[in-house]
Structure 1
Amino acid sequence: MRRASYANRKLTDEEQKIVKEKYKMIASFVRRNRLKPIDEWESYLAQYYILAIMKYTDYEHLHQYGIEAIIYQSLKSAKGNYYSKMYRSKRRPEGGFLYYDEQDGKDAYISGFMVEAPPIGVEKMAISNYIVYDIYQEIESERQKVIIGMLMAGYKKVEIERYLDITYYRLQQELKNIREMIGKFYYNQYE
C-alpha cells in the first residue's frame, strides 16, 4: 500500500509545538477506552497521533474541523485496526489465547498486548461445539456446509463468493436458508 506524502517527512516546528500541546489526548483516550496495559497502548497509539497532526497540517480541507477531532478519529481508527488485525483467523492460535494476571491481585489485567476477550469455560465450549456439530449434520447441502466452514474459519463473504463462484444474491439466499434451518433446529430441540 502506498504511504501518504506527509508520512515520509520530518515534523515541522509548528507540528512539534502541537504534538507537545496535545500529547495528553493519548492518555485520555487510553483511559476513556479502558485499554490495558496502558503504557503499551500509549506507545502504540503515539505514531498514529503524530501522523494525525501531520495529516491535519498538510490537508487544508481538514481545517474545517478541530484538530482534536482529527486526532481522536485517528486514534479510534488505529484502535479498531489493531483489533481487526488480531481477530483475523490467521493471527489467532487454534487453542485460543492464554490469560493470566501479572500482578498479585491488585488491579490485575490480562498480560500481553492481545485482544481482550472473556475466557470461555470448557463445559460451555464443549456444549457449543456439540450444538454446532449437530447443526452441521442437519445441513444437507454441501455448498451450505462449505459456507459455514469458511465463515467459521474467518473468511469474508467476498472470498466465499469467489471460492464457490456464486453471486452475492445467491450467497445471501444460502445464508438465509442456513439461518432458517438453525432456527428450526433450536425450535425443535428446545420445545
Structure 2
Amino acid sequence: MPSDFGDESGERLVDWLEYIGQSAGDSVMCSTADKLKSAFHRARADSTVMGVMNESEGLNATWAKLNMRDFEALPEYDTLKEIIGKRLDADAIEHDFYRDEGGRDWLLFKTEDAAEVSEAFRDLEERTEKALDESLRRRGKTREQARDEIPLEERAKSAREASKALDAEKAREKGLDIDRFEMRSK
C-alpha cells in the first residue's frame, strides 16, 4: 500500500479516513476529508507567507512556526500529526511539534524550508483526495453516493464556510502584496 501513495503518510491517510467513516459514516468521512484538505491548503499558504515575510522583513530567524489549530479541530489529531511528520520526514525536512504555554500546538521548521513545507502540504492535500476515493471504493461507494447522504442544509453551510475562507485568504494575499510593495519602496 505505501507504494500506491508514495510513502507511509499516504497509507495512514487512508487508514485515518476509514476510521472516520466506520465511526461516523460515509458522509462525515467526506466532509472531514474536505476539512482536512482545507487545513492543508491554509497551512500551505501560511507556511509560504511565513517564509516570505521573514525574508522580506530582513529577519534572520532560523526557525518558523505554523499554528496547528485547523488540524487540532479535526478528529484523531495525533494521527494527523503523525501523517504530517512522516511526510516531512520523507523529504528530510527538520521539524518538531510543540505546545506553548497557552495550550496551542505548533509545527516548528527551518525558515529556509518554508517552500518545501508548503510543497509537502500540497502533496498531502492531493493525497487526501486520493485517500478518500480509496476509502470509499473499499466501502463500495462513490463520492456522489456518500455526499447525497449529507443533508442539503449541511452542504449549504459547508459551501458558505468555504466561500468565507476563500474570501479571507484573498484578503490576506492582497494585504501581503501591499506589505511587500511597501517594504520594497522604503
TM-score for both structures, normalised by structure 1: 0.28
More strand by share: 2
Larger radius of gyration: 1
TM-score for both structures, normalised by structure 2: 0.28
More helix by share: 2
Report 1 or 2 for greater relative contact order, CA contacts < 8 Å, sequence distance ≥ 6: 2
